[in-house]
């Protein structure tokens, strides 16, 4: 049974999505290695690929999103552009997705288990 505190903790205005957009150089072997390493660190931190060079992660609260934003900032590559944005679950749910001209339903995120 979901208690009132759990319900308020997981509502669409408190839960957040962290989006990381990046454009990293890949001209040299070292640049490709740095770009692959950055992507791997995002994946290891629970981010999933939304589109090429756009990774997203669901967070149960603004505080939790702050932890993952800080971790991403600590892993920034020396070269290239990286943008980190956070939006509420409600805002993320209003996104319209298209494959060609056909609108598609967004994938429902899997519920992540939090251990305290």
Q: Which pLDDT score is estimated for 4?
A: 46
Which sign, positive or negative, has the C-alpha torsion 55, 56, 62, 68? negative
| Cβ atoms within 10 Å, residue 105 | 6
**Number of domains into which the chain is organized:** 1
What does the pLDDT look like over 63-112, one tens digit per residue?
999 999 999 999 999 999 999 999 999 999 999 989 888 888 776 666 66
Domain membership flag for residue 42: yes
4 vs 39, higher pLDDT? 39
Residue 48 belongs to domain with CATH number: 3.30.70.240
- pTM, entire model: 0.79
- Residue 88: which domain range? 4-104
Domain membership flag for residue 115: no
């Amino acid at each position: 049974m979901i208690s009132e505190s759990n319900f308020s903790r997981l509502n669409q205005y408190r839960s957040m999505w962290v989006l990381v957009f990046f454009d990293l150089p890949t001209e040299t072997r070292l640049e490709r290695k740095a770009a692959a390493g950055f992507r791997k660190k995002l994946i290891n931190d629970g981010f999933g690929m939304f589109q090429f060079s756009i990774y997203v992660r669901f967070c149960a609260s603004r505080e939790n999103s702050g932890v993952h934003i800080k971790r991403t900032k600590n892993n920034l590559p020396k070269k290239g552009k990286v943008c980190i944005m956070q939006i509420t679950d409600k805002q993320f749910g209003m996104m319209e997705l298209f494959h060609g001209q056909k609108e598609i339903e967004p994938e429902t995120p899997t519920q992540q288990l939090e251990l305290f």
